[in-house]
Structure 1
Protein backbone atom coordinates (compact mmCIF):
# COMPACT_ATOMS: atom_id res chain seq x y z
CA UNK A 1 0.00 0.00 0.00
CA UNK A 2 2.87 2.42 0.76
CA UNK A 3 4.02 2.12 -2.86
CA UNK A 4 0.79 3.70 -4.14
CA UNK A 5 1.88 7.24 -3.34
CA UNK A 6 5.10 9.19 -3.47
CA UNK A 7 4.65 10.90 -0.12
CA UNK A 8 8.03 12.60 0.17
CA UNK A 9 9.16 14.50 -2.89
CA UNK A 10 12.24 16.68 -3.42
CA UNK A 11 12.29 19.35 -6.09
CA UNK A 12 15.69 19.67 -7.74
CA UNK A 13 16.76 23.32 -7.86
CA UNK A 14 20.36 23.79 -8.97
CA UNK A 15 22.10 26.82 -10.45
CA UNK A 16 18.92 28.85 -10.04
CA UNK A 17 17.18 30.66 -7.22
CA UNK A 18 13.78 29.13 -8.01
CA UNK A 19 12.40 26.53 -10.40
CA UNK A 20 10.01 27.33 -13.25
CA UNK A 21 8.31 24.16 -14.48
CA UNK A 22 5.97 24.00 -17.48
CA UNK A 23 4.41 20.64 -18.35
CA UNK A 24 2.19 19.55 -21.26
CA UNK A 25 1.57 15.85 -20.72
CA UNK A 26 -1.05 13.11 -20.94
CA UNK A 27 -3.80 13.58 -18.35
CA UNK A 28 -2.80 10.46 -16.35
CA UNK A 29 0.94 11.21 -15.98
CA UNK A 30 0.87 13.62 -13.05
CA UNK A 31 2.79 12.78 -9.87
CA UNK A 32 0.80 11.14 -7.07
CA UNK A 33 0.36 12.54 -3.58
CA UNK A 34 3.59 14.13 -2.42
CA UNK A 35 5.05 16.89 -0.30
CA UNK A 36 8.25 18.91 -0.47
CA UNK A 37 10.43 21.38 1.40
CA UNK A 38 9.60 24.14 -1.11
CA UNK A 39 6.77 26.56 -1.64
CA UNK A 40 4.76 25.80 -4.77
CA UNK A 41 2.60 27.98 -7.00
CA UNK A 42 0.50 25.87 -9.38
CA UNK A 43 -1.44 27.27 -12.35
CA UNK A 44 -3.75 24.85 -14.17
CA UNK A 45 -3.92 25.97 -17.80
CA UNK A 46 -5.79 22.97 -19.22
CA UNK A 47 -7.48 20.15 -17.33
CA UNK A 48 -9.85 19.40 -14.50
CA UNK A 49 -10.45 16.76 -11.87
CA UNK A 50 -9.95 16.39 -8.14
CA UNK A 51 -7.15 17.74 -5.97
CA UNK A 52 -5.89 16.97 -2.48
CA UNK A 53 -4.28 19.82 -0.56
CA UNK A 54 -3.55 18.97 3.06
CA UNK A 55 -6.76 17.95 4.78
CA UNK A 56 -9.07 18.84 1.88
CA UNK A 57 -10.29 16.96 -1.20
CA UNK A 58 -12.09 19.13 -3.77
CA UNK A 59 -12.83 19.40 -7.49
CA UNK A 60 -10.72 21.78 -9.58
CA UNK A 61 -10.95 23.25 -13.06
CA UNK A 62 -8.65 25.06 -15.46
CA UNK A 63 -7.63 28.59 -14.59
CA UNK A 64 -7.00 28.11 -10.88
CA UNK A 65 -3.80 29.30 -9.23
CA UNK A 66 -2.92 27.68 -5.89
CA UNK A 67 -0.16 28.52 -3.40
CA UNK A 68 1.02 25.58 -1.28
CA UNK A 69 3.39 26.20 1.65
CA UNK A 70 6.19 23.70 2.37
CA UNK A 71 5.42 20.23 3.79
CA UNK A 72 1.71 20.17 2.92
CA UNK A 73 0.83 16.93 1.04
CA UNK A 74 -0.90 17.58 -2.28
CA UNK A 75 -1.73 16.22 -5.71
CA UNK A 76 -3.93 16.93 -8.72
CA UNK A 77 -5.78 13.94 -10.17
CA UNK A 78 -6.85 14.90 -13.70
CA UNK A 79 -9.89 13.29 -15.27
CA UNK A 80 -9.77 11.82 -18.76
CA UNK A 81 -12.45 14.10 -20.23
CA UNK A 82 -10.92 17.57 -19.80
CA UNK A 83 -7.86 18.04 -22.00
CA UNK A 84 -6.69 19.62 -25.25
CA UNK A 85 -6.93 18.14 -28.75
CA UNK A 86 -3.80 16.07 -28.09
CA UNK A 87 -5.34 14.46 -25.00
CA UNK A 88 -2.96 16.45 -22.78
CA UNK A 89 -3.23 18.68 -19.74
CA UNK A 90 -1.03 21.71 -19.15
CA UNK A 91 0.16 23.51 -16.06
CA UNK A 92 2.87 25.84 -14.79
CA UNK A 93 4.51 25.48 -11.38
CA UNK A 94 6.95 27.67 -9.51
CA UNK A 95 9.04 26.23 -6.67
CA UNK A 96 11.02 28.35 -4.23
CA UNK A 97 12.49 27.96 -0.77
CA UNK A 98 11.92 29.76 2.51
CA UNK A 99 15.67 30.44 2.52
CA UNK A 100 15.24 32.41 -0.71
CA UNK A 101 12.54 34.53 0.90
CA UNK A 102 14.82 35.24 3.85
CA UNK A 103 17.69 36.17 1.53
CA UNK A 104 15.45 38.52 -0.43
CA UNK A 105 14.39 40.26 2.75
CA UNK A 106 18.03 40.67 3.76
CA UNK A 107 19.19 41.87 0.33
CA UNK A 108 16.21 44.11 -0.34
CA UNK A 109 14.91 45.71 2.87
CA UNK A 110 12.12 47.23 0.80
CA UNK A 111 10.61 43.73 0.54
CA UNK A 112 10.58 43.08 4.29
CA UNK A 113 6.86 43.66 4.78
CA UNK A 114 5.88 41.57 1.77
CA UNK A 115 8.17 38.65 2.59
CA UNK A 116 7.01 38.66 6.21
CA UNK A 117 3.41 38.52 4.99
CA UNK A 118 4.12 35.52 2.76
CA UNK A 119 5.98 33.64 5.49
CA UNK A 120 2.90 33.88 7.70
CA UNK A 121 0.85 31.82 5.21
CA UNK A 122 0.37 28.31 6.60
CA UNK A 123 -2.58 27.03 4.53
CA UNK A 124 -2.98 26.17 0.87
CA UNK A 125 -4.75 29.15 -0.74
CA UNK A 126 -6.56 29.85 -4.00
CA UNK A 127 -6.43 33.30 -5.58
CA UNK A 128 -9.47 35.19 -6.81
CA UNK A 129 -10.46 38.07 -9.10
CA UNK A 130 -7.72 40.65 -9.83
CA UNK A 131 -4.95 38.73 -8.05
CA UNK A 132 -5.85 35.62 -10.03
CA UNK A 133 -5.71 37.46 -13.36
CA UNK A 134 -2.39 39.10 -12.40
CA UNK A 135 -0.83 35.74 -11.53
CA UNK A 136 -2.22 34.01 -14.63
CA UNK A 137 -0.86 36.73 -16.90
CA UNK A 138 2.57 36.80 -15.26
CA UNK A 139 2.99 33.02 -15.26
CA UNK A 140 2.03 32.86 -18.94
CA UNK A 141 4.48 35.66 -19.70
CA UNK A 142 7.26 33.65 -18.07
CA UNK A 143 6.83 30.98 -20.76
CA UNK A 144 8.39 33.42 -23.24
CA UNK A 145 11.06 34.87 -20.97
CA UNK A 146 14.70 34.00 -20.46
CA UNK A 147 15.98 33.15 -16.93
CA UNK A 148 16.99 36.71 -16.04
CA UNK A 149 13.64 38.13 -17.19
CA UNK A 150 11.86 35.50 -15.08
CA UNK A 151 13.54 36.85 -11.96
CA UNK A 152 11.67 40.14 -12.36
CA UNK A 153 8.42 38.30 -12.98
CA UNK A 154 9.03 36.16 -9.90
CA UNK A 155 9.39 39.27 -7.74
CA UNK A 156 6.17 40.62 -9.27
CA UNK A 157 4.41 37.37 -8.30
CA UNK A 158 5.64 37.61 -4.72
CA UNK A 159 4.32 41.15 -4.56
CA UNK A 160 0.91 40.05 -5.89
CA UNK A 161 0.72 37.26 -3.31
CA UNK A 162 1.69 39.51 -0.41
CA UNK A 163 -0.68 42.32 -1.34
CA UNK A 164 -3.90 40.38 -1.91
CA UNK A 165 -6.43 39.35 0.70
CA UNK A 166 -8.89 37.94 -1.83
CA UNK A 167 -8.11 34.26 -1.36
CA UNK A 168 -9.83 31.05 -0.30
CA UNK A 169 -8.29 28.38 1.90
CA UNK A 170 -8.15 25.13 -0.08
CA UNK A 171 -6.32 22.95 2.44
CA UNK A 172 -4.72 23.06 5.87
CA UNK A 173 -1.71 21.22 7.34
CA UNK A 174 -2.53 17.81 8.74
CA UNK A 175 -1.28 15.84 11.70
CA UNK A 176 1.16 13.14 10.65
CA UNK A 177 -0.77 10.33 12.28
CA UNK A 178 -1.10 6.78 10.99
CA UNK A 179 -4.84 7.18 10.40
CA UNK A 180 -4.30 10.37 8.41
CA UNK A 181 -1.97 8.59 6.00
CA UNK A 182 -4.44 5.73 5.67
CA UNK A 183 -7.24 8.13 4.79
CA UNK A 184 -5.08 9.91 2.21
CA UNK A 185 -4.24 6.60 0.57
CA UNK A 186 -7.92 5.66 0.59
CA UNK A 187 -8.94 9.00 -0.95
CA UNK A 188 -6.40 8.42 -3.72
CA UNK A 189 -7.79 4.93 -4.24
CA UNK A 190 -11.27 6.38 -4.74
CA UNK A 191 -9.96 9.13 -7.05
CA UNK A 192 -8.26 6.53 -9.25
CA UNK A 193 -10.94 3.83 -9.19
CA UNK A 194 -14.36 5.45 -8.76
CA UNK A 195 -15.23 4.74 -12.43
CA UNK A 196 -14.98 1.00 -11.72
CA UNK A 197 -17.09 -1.35 -9.68
CA UNK A 198 -15.70 -1.25 -6.11
CA UNK A 199 -16.78 -3.87 -3.61
CA UNK A 200 -16.27 -3.81 0.15
CA UNK A 201 -13.97 -6.78 -0.27
CA UNK A 202 -11.89 -4.85 -2.85
CA UNK A 203 -11.35 -1.74 -0.77
CA UNK A 204 -10.80 -3.50 2.56
CA UNK A 205 -8.26 -5.82 0.92
CA UNK A 206 -6.49 -2.82 -0.63
CA UNK A 207 -6.28 -1.23 2.82
CA UNK A 208 -5.04 -4.48 4.38
CA UNK A 209 -7.96 -4.63 6.81
CA UNK A 210 -10.83 -6.97 7.64
CA UNK A 211 -14.13 -5.77 6.19
CA UNK A 212 -15.72 -5.12 9.57
CA UNK A 213 -12.65 -3.26 10.84
CA UNK A 214 -12.51 -1.17 7.68
CA UNK A 215 -16.17 -0.15 8.01
CA UNK A 216 -15.64 0.97 11.61
CA UNK A 217 -12.41 2.79 10.70
CA UNK A 218 -14.00 4.69 7.81
CA UNK A 219 -17.16 5.66 9.70
CA UNK A 220 -15.09 6.92 12.61
CA UNK A 221 -12.94 9.11 10.35
CA UNK A 222 -15.54 10.39 7.85
CA UNK A 223 -18.78 10.13 9.83
CA UNK A 224 -20.43 8.41 6.83
CA UNK A 225 -20.16 4.90 5.44
CA UNK A 226 -17.65 4.17 2.69
CA UNK A 227 -20.38 3.69 0.10
CA UNK A 228 -22.11 6.94 1.07
CA UNK A 229 -18.76 8.68 0.52
CA UNK A 230 -18.17 6.85 -2.77
CA UNK A 231 -21.63 7.70 -4.07
CA UNK A 232 -21.21 11.39 -3.18
CA UNK A 233 -17.80 11.43 -4.88
CA UNK A 234 -19.26 9.87 -8.02
CA UNK A 235 -22.11 12.40 -8.07
CA UNK A 236 -19.62 15.28 -7.71
CA UNK A 237 -17.61 13.86 -10.61
CA UNK A 238 -20.76 13.55 -12.72
CA UNK A 239 -21.51 17.23 -12.06
CA UNK A 240 -18.24 18.25 -13.70
CA UNK A 241 -19.05 16.17 -16.77
CA UNK A 242 -22.57 17.56 -16.97
CA UNK A 243 -21.11 21.06 -17.11
CA UNK A 244 -18.00 20.48 -19.19
CA UNK A 245 -18.92 17.73 -21.65
CA UNK A 246 -21.59 16.85 -24.18
CA UNK A 247 -21.84 13.22 -23.06
CA UNK A 248 -25.34 11.85 -22.57
CA UNK A 249 -26.70 11.32 -19.05
CA UNK A 250 -26.27 7.56 -19.45
CA UNK A 251 -22.67 7.94 -20.65
CA UNK A 252 -21.86 10.21 -17.72
CA UNK A 253 -23.45 7.83 -15.22
CA UNK A 254 -21.47 4.90 -16.59
CA UNK A 255 -18.18 6.81 -16.73
CA UNK A 256 -18.60 7.77 -13.05
CA UNK A 257 -19.11 4.21 -11.85
CA UNK A 258 -22.89 3.87 -11.95
CA UNK A 259 -24.12 0.76 -13.76
CA UNK A 260 -27.82 1.39 -12.99
CA UNK A 261 -29.12 4.58 -14.66
CA UNK A 262 -32.37 4.86 -12.60
CA UNK A 263 -30.26 4.53 -9.44
CA UNK A 264 -27.91 7.25 -10.67
CA UNK A 265 -30.85 9.57 -11.37
CA UNK A 266 -32.36 8.83 -7.98
CA UNK A 267 -29.14 9.43 -6.05
CA UNK A 268 -28.32 12.55 -8.05
CA UNK A 269 -31.68 14.09 -7.20
CA UNK A 270 -31.34 13.09 -3.55
CA UNK A 271 -27.92 14.74 -3.21
CA UNK A 272 -28.30 17.72 -5.57
CA UNK A 273 -32.02 18.36 -5.25
CA UNK A 274 -32.68 18.16 -8.99
CA UNK A 275 -32.31 15.78 -11.91
CA UNK A 276 -29.02 15.56 -13.85
CA UNK A 277 -30.60 17.23 -16.90
CA UNK A 278 -31.94 20.12 -14.80
CA UNK A 279 -28.55 20.51 -13.17
CA UNK A 280 -26.81 20.66 -16.55
CA UNK A 281 -29.30 23.25 -17.80
CA UNK A 282 -28.99 25.45 -14.70
CA UNK A 283 -25.18 25.45 -14.67
CA UNK A 284 -24.76 26.08 -18.39
CA UNK A 285 -26.87 29.21 -18.08
CA UNK A 286 -24.69 30.54 -15.25
CA UNK A 287 -22.32 33.33 -16.42
CA UNK A 288 -18.57 32.80 -15.80
CA UNK A 289 -16.80 34.55 -12.96
CA UNK A 290 -13.97 37.05 -13.23
CA UNK A 291 -10.62 35.75 -14.46
CA UNK A 292 -11.91 32.87 -16.54
CA UNK A 293 -13.07 30.89 -13.51
CA UNK A 294 -16.14 28.72 -13.44
CA UNK A 295 -18.31 28.27 -10.41
CA UNK A 296 -17.01 25.50 -8.22
CA UNK A 297 -19.14 22.39 -8.02
CA UNK A 298 -20.66 21.83 -4.63
CA UNK A 299 -19.56 18.80 -2.68
CA UNK A 300 -22.45 17.09 -0.95
CA UNK A 301 -22.23 14.03 1.23
CA UNK A 302 -25.10 11.65 1.62
CA UNK A 303 -25.90 10.97 5.24
Structure 2
Protein backbone atom coordinates (compact mmCIF):
# COMPACT_ATOMS: atom_id res chain seq x y z
CA UNK A 1 0.00 0.00 0.00
CA UNK A 2 1.32 3.44 -0.88
CA UNK A 3 2.15 5.47 2.22
CA UNK A 4 0.32 8.78 2.26
CA UNK A 5 2.23 11.89 3.29
CA UNK A 6 0.61 14.78 5.06
CA UNK A 7 1.41 17.80 7.14
CA UNK A 8 1.85 17.23 10.85
CA UNK A 9 -1.22 18.11 12.92
CA UNK A 10 -1.29 19.02 16.59
CA UNK A 11 -1.14 15.74 18.47
CA UNK A 12 -2.34 16.23 22.03
CA UNK A 13 -1.24 12.73 23.05
CA UNK A 14 2.42 13.55 22.45
CA UNK A 15 4.61 16.53 23.32
CA UNK A 16 6.29 16.35 19.93
CA UNK A 17 5.68 14.51 16.66
CA UNK A 18 8.13 11.75 15.67
CA UNK A 19 7.90 10.58 12.05
CA UNK A 20 9.97 7.79 10.48
CA UNK A 21 9.34 7.13 6.78
CA UNK A 22 10.69 4.53 4.35
CA UNK A 23 9.15 5.48 1.02
CA UNK A 24 9.81 5.87 -2.71
CA UNK A 25 11.78 8.93 -3.79
CA UNK A 26 8.76 10.84 -5.17
CA UNK A 27 6.52 10.72 -2.08
CA UNK A 28 7.96 13.69 -0.21
CA UNK A 29 5.86 16.63 0.98
CA UNK A 30 6.14 19.56 -1.51
CA UNK A 31 7.40 23.01 -0.56
CA UNK A 32 5.72 24.10 2.66
CA UNK A 33 6.28 26.09 5.85
CA UNK A 34 4.94 25.58 9.35
CA UNK A 35 4.59 27.32 12.70
CA UNK A 36 6.62 24.48 14.27
CA UNK A 37 10.30 23.61 14.67
CA UNK A 38 11.53 20.68 12.59
CA UNK A 39 14.59 18.44 12.98
CA UNK A 40 15.13 16.22 9.92
CA UNK A 41 17.63 13.40 9.44
CA UNK A 42 18.22 11.94 5.95
CA UNK A 43 19.13 8.28 6.51
CA UNK A 44 19.06 7.20 2.85
CA UNK A 45 18.84 9.33 -0.31
CA UNK A 46 20.27 12.44 -1.92
CA UNK A 47 19.12 15.20 -4.24
CA UNK A 48 18.36 18.89 -4.04
CA UNK A 49 16.71 20.73 -1.15
CA UNK A 50 15.12 24.15 -0.83
CA UNK A 51 15.58 25.90 2.53
CA UNK A 52 14.16 29.40 2.65
CA UNK A 53 16.18 31.44 0.19
CA UNK A 54 18.70 28.67 -0.59
CA UNK A 55 18.66 25.75 -3.06
CA UNK A 56 21.49 23.24 -2.54
CA UNK A 57 22.43 19.61 -3.07
CA UNK A 58 22.08 17.28 -0.10
CA UNK A 59 23.19 13.73 0.65
CA UNK A 60 22.51 11.02 3.20
CA UNK A 61 23.54 11.60 6.79
CA UNK A 62 22.66 15.26 7.05
CA UNK A 63 20.56 16.57 9.94
CA UNK A 64 18.90 19.97 9.61
CA UNK A 65 17.13 22.11 12.19
CA UNK A 66 14.41 24.27 10.62
CA UNK A 67 12.88 27.13 12.64
CA UNK A 68 9.22 28.09 12.16
CA UNK A 69 8.07 29.81 8.96
CA UNK A 70 10.98 28.83 6.72
CA UNK A 71 9.69 27.32 3.43
CA UNK A 72 11.41 23.99 2.74
CA UNK A 73 11.29 20.77 0.76
CA UNK A 74 13.53 17.92 -0.39
CA UNK A 75 13.59 16.67 -3.99
CA UNK A 76 15.14 13.19 -3.97
CA UNK A 77 17.15 11.69 -6.83
CA UNK A 78 15.33 8.68 -8.27
CA UNK A 79 18.60 6.78 -8.79
CA UNK A 80 19.77 6.98 -5.14
CA UNK A 81 17.95 4.54 -2.88
CA UNK A 82 18.39 1.47 -0.69
CA UNK A 83 18.02 -2.18 -1.75
CA UNK A 84 14.23 -1.79 -1.64
CA UNK A 85 14.36 1.19 -4.01
CA UNK A 86 13.31 3.57 -1.24
CA UNK A 87 14.64 6.56 0.70
CA UNK A 88 14.44 6.86 4.46
CA UNK A 89 14.31 9.76 6.89
CA UNK A 90 13.34 10.74 10.41
CA UNK A 91 11.59 14.01 11.25
CA UNK A 92 10.86 15.45 14.68
CA UNK A 93 8.31 18.28 14.76
CA UNK A 94 8.13 20.49 17.85
CA UNK A 95 5.44 22.99 18.78
CA UNK A 96 6.81 26.34 19.95
CA UNK A 97 4.22 26.34 22.77
CA UNK A 98 5.71 23.08 24.02
CA UNK A 99 9.16 24.66 24.21
CA UNK A 100 7.75 27.58 26.16
CA UNK A 101 5.99 25.23 28.58
CA UNK A 102 9.16 23.15 28.98
CA UNK A 103 11.14 26.24 29.82
CA UNK A 104 8.59 27.15 32.48
CA UNK A 105 8.21 23.67 33.99
CA UNK A 106 11.88 22.65 33.87
CA UNK A 107 14.24 25.49 34.81
CA UNK A 108 17.16 23.22 33.94
CA UNK A 109 16.11 23.44 30.26
CA UNK A 110 15.29 27.14 30.11
CA UNK A 111 18.76 28.25 29.03
CA UNK A 112 18.98 25.61 26.29
CA UNK A 113 15.51 26.42 25.00
CA UNK A 114 16.21 30.16 25.01
CA UNK A 115 19.37 29.53 22.99
CA UNK A 116 17.48 27.37 20.51
CA UNK A 117 14.67 29.90 20.04
CA UNK A 118 17.16 32.67 19.29
CA UNK A 119 18.11 30.94 16.04
CA UNK A 120 16.29 32.26 12.95
CA UNK A 121 18.11 30.28 10.25
CA UNK A 122 17.98 26.67 9.09
CA UNK A 123 21.24 24.98 10.09
CA UNK A 124 22.98 21.66 9.49
CA UNK A 125 25.27 19.96 11.97
CA UNK A 126 28.83 18.75 11.56
CA UNK A 127 31.62 16.78 13.15
CA UNK A 128 31.33 14.80 16.37
CA UNK A 129 27.97 16.36 17.20
CA UNK A 130 26.48 15.13 13.92
CA UNK A 131 27.61 11.59 14.76
CA UNK A 132 25.91 11.82 18.17
CA UNK A 133 22.69 13.19 16.69
CA UNK A 134 22.57 10.47 14.03
CA UNK A 135 22.92 7.70 16.62
CA UNK A 136 20.35 9.29 18.92
CA UNK A 137 17.73 9.95 16.24
CA UNK A 138 18.18 6.50 14.71
CA UNK A 139 17.74 4.86 18.11
CA UNK A 140 14.43 6.70 18.56
CA UNK A 141 12.91 4.65 15.72
CA UNK A 142 12.59 1.60 18.00
CA UNK A 143 11.83 3.43 21.24
CA UNK A 144 8.50 3.73 23.03
CA UNK A 145 7.03 7.21 23.71
CA UNK A 146 8.61 7.53 27.17
CA UNK A 147 12.05 6.55 25.87
CA UNK A 148 11.66 8.99 22.97
CA UNK A 149 10.87 11.80 25.39
CA UNK A 150 14.11 11.10 27.25
CA UNK A 151 16.03 11.05 23.95
CA UNK A 152 14.30 14.23 22.86
CA UNK A 153 15.49 16.10 25.96
CA UNK A 154 19.02 14.94 25.21
CA UNK A 155 18.63 16.13 21.59
CA UNK A 156 17.40 19.50 22.80
CA UNK A 157 20.47 19.97 24.95
CA UNK A 158 22.86 18.91 22.16
CA UNK A 159 21.48 21.17 19.42
CA UNK A 160 20.93 24.19 21.66
CA UNK A 161 24.60 24.63 22.55
CA UNK A 162 25.97 23.42 19.23
CA UNK A 163 28.89 25.25 17.62
CA UNK A 164 29.54 22.66 14.88
CA UNK A 165 26.94 23.82 12.39
CA UNK A 166 26.49 26.06 9.37
CA UNK A 167 23.58 27.96 7.86
CA UNK A 168 21.79 26.21 4.99
CA UNK A 169 18.83 28.57 4.58
CA UNK A 170 17.47 31.89 5.75
CA UNK A 171 13.87 33.13 6.04
CA UNK A 172 12.15 34.39 2.92
CA UNK A 173 10.81 37.79 3.77
CA UNK A 174 7.42 38.70 2.45
CA UNK A 175 8.38 40.78 -0.54
CA UNK A 176 7.68 40.32 -4.21
CA UNK A 177 11.28 39.97 -5.36
CA UNK A 178 12.11 37.18 -2.90
CA UNK A 179 8.93 35.31 -3.80
CA UNK A 180 9.74 35.63 -7.51
CA UNK A 181 13.29 34.37 -7.01
CA UNK A 182 12.02 31.40 -5.01
CA UNK A 183 9.53 30.58 -7.77
CA UNK A 184 12.43 30.61 -10.28
CA UNK A 185 14.48 28.28 -8.07
CA UNK A 186 11.57 25.87 -7.80
CA UNK A 187 11.06 25.93 -11.57
CA UNK A 188 14.74 25.08 -12.09
CA UNK A 189 14.51 22.32 -9.48
CA UNK A 190 11.64 20.69 -11.32
CA UNK A 191 12.92 21.17 -14.87
CA UNK A 192 16.75 21.26 -14.94
CA UNK A 193 16.95 17.79 -16.50
CA UNK A 194 15.51 19.14 -19.75
CA UNK A 195 16.10 22.18 -21.92
CA UNK A 196 14.69 25.38 -20.38
CA UNK A 197 14.06 28.38 -22.61
CA UNK A 198 14.09 32.00 -21.51
CA UNK A 199 10.58 32.37 -22.84
CA UNK A 200 9.08 29.67 -20.63
CA UNK A 201 10.94 30.58 -17.44
CA UNK A 202 10.14 34.28 -17.79
CA UNK A 203 6.51 33.48 -18.61
CA UNK A 204 6.27 31.22 -15.53
CA UNK A 205 6.90 34.23 -13.28
CA UNK A 206 4.94 36.74 -15.36
CA UNK A 207 7.87 38.72 -16.79
CA UNK A 208 9.16 39.71 -20.19
CA UNK A 209 12.42 37.99 -21.25
CA UNK A 210 14.50 41.16 -21.08
CA UNK A 211 13.11 42.14 -17.68
CA UNK A 212 13.64 38.62 -16.40
CA UNK A 213 17.31 38.59 -17.41
CA UNK A 214 17.96 41.92 -15.70
CA UNK A 215 16.10 40.80 -12.57
CA UNK A 216 17.91 37.45 -12.30
CA UNK A 217 21.34 38.98 -12.81
CA UNK A 218 20.65 41.63 -10.17
CA UNK A 219 19.40 39.08 -7.64
CA UNK A 220 22.06 36.38 -8.15
CA UNK A 221 25.01 38.15 -9.84
CA UNK A 222 24.81 35.48 -12.57
CA UNK A 223 23.05 35.05 -15.86
CA UNK A 224 20.18 32.57 -15.83
CA UNK A 225 21.92 30.04 -18.06
CA UNK A 226 25.19 30.24 -16.09
CA UNK A 227 23.22 29.51 -12.93
CA UNK A 228 21.38 26.56 -14.52
CA UNK A 229 24.62 25.13 -15.91
CA UNK A 230 26.32 25.26 -12.50
CA UNK A 231 23.22 23.76 -10.89
CA UNK A 232 23.33 20.87 -13.36
CA UNK A 233 27.04 20.30 -12.70
CA UNK A 234 26.45 20.20 -8.93
CA UNK A 235 23.60 17.74 -9.44
CA UNK A 236 25.82 15.56 -11.62
CA UNK A 237 28.47 15.60 -8.87
CA UNK A 238 25.97 14.07 -6.49
CA UNK A 239 25.16 11.34 -9.01
CA UNK A 240 28.87 10.64 -9.60
CA UNK A 241 29.38 10.15 -5.87
CA UNK A 242 26.11 8.47 -4.91
CA UNK A 243 25.25 6.24 -7.89
CA UNK A 244 26.90 3.71 -10.17
CA UNK A 245 25.50 5.35 -13.31
CA UNK A 246 27.97 5.84 -16.15
CA UNK A 247 29.24 9.31 -17.01
CA UNK A 248 27.13 9.22 -20.18
CA UNK A 249 23.98 8.37 -18.19
CA UNK A 250 24.73 11.11 -15.65
CA UNK A 251 25.30 13.59 -18.46
CA UNK A 252 21.76 13.02 -19.73
CA UNK A 253 20.19 12.77 -16.25
CA UNK A 254 21.63 16.14 -15.24
CA UNK A 255 20.27 17.98 -18.26
CA UNK A 256 23.17 17.90 -20.74
CA UNK A 257 22.54 16.43 -24.18
CA UNK A 258 26.13 16.32 -25.42
CA UNK A 259 28.76 14.27 -23.59
CA UNK A 260 31.87 16.11 -24.87
CA UNK A 261 30.28 19.45 -23.95
CA UNK A 262 29.36 18.12 -20.50
CA UNK A 263 32.96 16.98 -19.97
CA UNK A 264 34.34 20.38 -21.02
CA UNK A 265 31.97 22.32 -18.78
CA UNK A 266 32.58 19.98 -15.85
CA UNK A 267 36.36 20.35 -16.13
CA UNK A 268 36.09 24.14 -16.44
CA UNK A 269 34.04 24.37 -13.23
CA UNK A 270 35.55 21.53 -11.16
CA UNK A 271 39.10 21.54 -12.64
CA UNK A 272 38.92 17.77 -13.22
CA UNK A 273 36.93 15.51 -15.54
CA UNK A 274 33.81 13.70 -14.26
CA UNK A 275 35.73 10.41 -14.18
CA UNK A 276 38.60 11.98 -12.22
CA UNK A 277 36.13 13.61 -9.83
CA UNK A 278 34.52 10.24 -9.07
CA UNK A 279 37.89 8.50 -8.63
CA UNK A 280 39.34 11.10 -6.28
CA UNK A 281 36.48 10.53 -3.84
CA UNK A 282 36.73 6.76 -4.10
CA UNK A 283 40.33 6.78 -2.87
TM-score category by the smaller chain? over 0.9
SS at match of 1:20: strand
Q: TM-score, normalised by structure 1?
A: 0.87
SS at match of 2:142: coil
Measure the CA separation in 2 of the matches of 1:244 and 1:21: 25
SS at match of 1:143: helix
Unaligned runs of 5+ in 1: 1-8, 286-303
Are 1:26 and 1:88, in contact at CA under 8 Å, matched by a contact in 2?
yes
Out of 193, 202, 205, the position equivalent to 1:204 is 202
Q: Displacement, 1:10?
A: 5.8
Specify the alignment match of 2:11 in structure 1: 14
Measure the CA separation in 2 of the matches of 1:10 and 1:179: 27
Q: Displacement, 1:11?
A: 3.0
Are 2:251 and 2:257, in contact at CA under 8 Å, matched by a contact in 1?
yes
Inter-CA distance 281–10: structure 2 relative to 1 (3 Å threshold):
closer
Aligned alpha-carbon RMSD (Å)? 1.5
Query: How many pairs align?
Result: 277
Inter-CA distance 10–89: structure 2 relative to 1 (3 Å threshold):
closer
Q: Displacement, 1:273?
A: 1.3
Measure the CA separation in 1 of the matches of 2:53 and 2:185: 11
Q: Displacement, 1:205?
A: 2.5
Specify the alignment match of 2:274 in structure 1: 276
With 35-44 and 208-217 compared, the bigger mean Cα shift is at: 208-217
Measure the CA separation in 2 of the matches of 1:222 and 1:209: 17
Q: Displacement, 1:204?
A: 2.0
Inter-CA distance 54–240: structure 2 relative to 1 (3 Å threshold):
same
Measure the CA separation in 1 of the matches of 2:228 and 2:161: 40
Q: TM-score, normalised by structure 2?
A: 0.93
Matches within 5 A, 1:110-189: 110-189=108-187
Measure the CA separation in 2 of the matches of 1:246 and 1:138: 30
Are 1:10 and 1:37, in contact at CA under 8 Å, matched by a contact in 2?
no
Runs of 4+ in structure 1 off by over 6 angstroms are none
